[in-house]
Structure 1
Amino acid sequence: MTYDSSLISKNALVVEHLSKYFIGVEDNSRIKTISELENEIIAARGTIQNSMNLLKIAGAITLKPRGHLGTFLISKDLSLLLRYANISFIVGVMPLPYSKLYEGLSTGLLHTMENKLNIPVNMAYMRGASRRIEMMLNGRYDFAILSKFAALDYLQHNDDIEIITEFEPGSFLNKHVVMFNTPDKQVIEDGMRVGIDYDSIDQAALTLEVSKPLNVKLIEVSYNQLVEKLLNNEIDAAIWNDDELSRKTPSITTRDLELDNNYNTIAVIVIDKNRQDLKRLLITLINIDEVQLIQHQVVNNEIIPSY
């Protein structure tokens, strides 16, 4: 997101705050009272009332008082609210598009988010769910693509992100496998050197799970070097996304990873949970069925990926 440096007056900042608030409010929902907004924005009551009147006169919002029930947002002009909120573009971050599934997901998201609101949408690519979450929370990106497994694992220890969209099973990857550096190995055994990348929530958590009952040596390895380390006999086993594995490495054998659920295969979109304006905007822009259709078309080579 970018912010216009000309918005320096108190009134303009209050208008910006209110616009973001109204983006996150559903139509026909009760809005906060002036007193509630006064405490939230830390602005004078008159300034808040004047700013709200500006949005009403501009046609950005339509409000209706309903007595003791409060005041309700009847409708809003999202494009106007975005302008007053000074939101000029959106940037997401997802894994590097090294597989057809990722190419299709990126293509589908960018296509469906090209919209009549004229908000440019860009996608950045970064390995490691932990790094994607960190950069998003630091404000560099507006949303992040993770597996549902990674998102839920993160939420077990933190409460600063929110899952706002979930795609179908198989939208993030087909399956994880355990790779071995020799054909005669089928299971992880005591004494093995097992590669682990702590930046990858999925890979690290799954590695710790399968290694938990065993006496193995965990070797910290960057995810994109796991295959190389196996081929060089620097590690004995590692968990890997099967979509990435080249069939031209006959010396590496694999076994499907048996899991209790398919959360590792499901793509989700997460945001900073404090960004409710962004939540409503993204839900408005993203058509899940259309994204998944385009992803299937890319995977089946029916259309060329564009991202």
Structure 2
Amino acid sequence: MNMPYNLVTKNAHTVRELAKYFITVQENSRIVTVSEFESMIDTARGTIQNSLKVLSEANAITLVSRGHLGTFLIHKNLSLLLNFAGITFLVGVMPLPYSKLYEGLSTGLVQTMENQLNIPVNMAHMRGARQRIEMLLNERYDFAVVSKYAALKYQEQNHNVDIIVEFDKHSYLQNHVIMFADKNNSKIEDGMRVGIDYDSIDQSSLTLEATLGKTVELVPISYNQFTDKLQANEIDVAIWNGDELPNHPEKGNTQPLNLENDDNTIAVIIIKSTRVDLKDLILQIMDVDTVMDTQRKVIDGKLMPTY
């Protein structure tokens, strides 16, 4: 981490932690006391006071004491606070950009966030919500894009990620469909071989729901092999992202997958639950309407995708 000012080692950690704290505080809000800072950061009172002075003299924060009411944050410079906090760039991860929806979403996220910050925002691309969440928890990435359906499914058994931003319906995909190898089939029946990709929370969970109560053979297959396996008659049926159908020859039969809600079509941003500073930062800079508008422009061909 490159600190913007020359700081002695014992102050560097305190300044960084204070900067992270002030990222989460709204302007004109009361801040915690020095004694509370001592407990939060586990450092001496003098170090806290010196570190607050560093942030104030750098114009990263403006504090005003209001007597018995406490001290208030009147103004903050988010870019300077990010620098002091050691946050010099953000990296997110989302699905591979194989559809216009994903290209538009990636473009909207990068442009919106970079327009609000003086730091670069990069998007990595990785298949499988489960893998994206694993990398997020390992702090390889700062935030991840998954479907609301996948996020809620994951949260049913885990409490280490938070949904912090939710986008519009059909921001993630238009719909899921059921693809059959045999054009004469239109519903999943006993005895069928069903493709399932356990790395994809959406695909695997939807498959298990669709086959509930039926005696079928679940065949573990990577998502990008489904169409090949269907055409080779190695599986009888698979649940698939409907946005990809135009890119693949259709020899069998495709039916809509009827669901109770649209959660599988909604994109959300998730972060590791312990990253409180990052949560507040993203909430401050994220404009859902702008991201959605950018996504529509990419889909309509009015804007070149950047990702």
CA distance in 2, matches of 1:9, 1:193: 62
Match of 2:256 in 1: 256
Please list the CA deviations of residues 250-290 of structure 1 after superposition, one character each: whole Å capped at 9, or x if unmatched.
Answer: 31311111111101000111111221221222223222111
Tell me the SS of whatever aligns to 2:194. Answer: strand
Give ranges in structure 1 of 5+ residues lacking alignment: none
Please list the CA deviations of residues 231-259 of structure 1 after superposition, one character each: whole Å capped at 9, or x if unmatched.
Answer: 11111111110001236523131111111
Q: Which amino acid aligns with 2:195?
A: G
Match of 1:51 in 2: 51
TM-aligned CA deviation for residue 94 of structure 1:
0.4
Q: Percent of counterpart pairs with the same letter? A: 58
CA distance in 1, matches of 2:8, 2:64: 30
Asked whether 1:306 is paired with 2:306, we answer yes
Contact 2:164 2:270 in 1 (8 A): yes
Contact 1:64 1:73 in 2 (8 A): yes
Tell me the SS of whatever aligns to 1:115. Answer: helix
Match of 2:269 in 1: 269
Match of 2:161 in 1: 161
TM-aligned CA deviation for residue 116 of structure 1:
5.7
CA distance in 2, matches of 1:94, 1:223: 16
CA distance in 2, matches of 1:112, 1:242: 27
TM-aligned CA deviation for residue 61 of structure 1:
1.2
Q: Which amino acid aligns with 2:150?
A: A
CA distance in 2, matches of 1:51, 1:266: 43
Contact 2:227 2:248 in 1 (8 A): no
Distance 1:61 1:249, change over 3 A: same
Tell me the SS of whatever aligns to 2:186. Answer: coil
Distance 1:116 1:102, change over 3 A: closer
Tell me the SS of whatever aligns to 1:292. Answer: helix
Give ranges in structure 2 of 5+ residues lacking alignment: none
CA distance in 1, matches of 2:19, 2:47: 14
Superposition map of 1:18-33 within 5 A: 18-33=18-33
TM-aligned CA deviation for residue 164 of structure 1:
1.3
TM-score, L = length of structure 2: 0.94
TM-score, L = length of structure 1: 0.94
Contact 2:128 2:201 in 1 (8 A): yes
CA distance in 2, matches of 1:124, 1:7: 33
Contact 1:7 1:13 in 2 (8 A): no
TM-aligned CA deviation for residue 157 of structure 1:
1.1
Asked whether 1:4 is paired with 2:27, we answer no
CA distance in 1, matches of 2:70, 2:113: 34
Match of 1:244 in 2: 244
Please list the CA deviations of residues 94-148 of structure 1 after superposition, one character each: whole Å capped at 9, or x if unmatched.
Answer: 0000001001111111111223632011110000111111111111111100111
TM-aligned CA deviation for residue 45 of structure 1:
2.0
Contact 2:91 2:142 in 1 (8 A): yes
Match of 1:218 in 2: 218
Residues paired across the two proteins, number: 305
TM-aligned CA deviation for residue 69 of structure 1:
4.2
Asked whether 1:202 is paired with 2:198, we answer no
Q: Which amino acid aligns with 1:4?
A: N
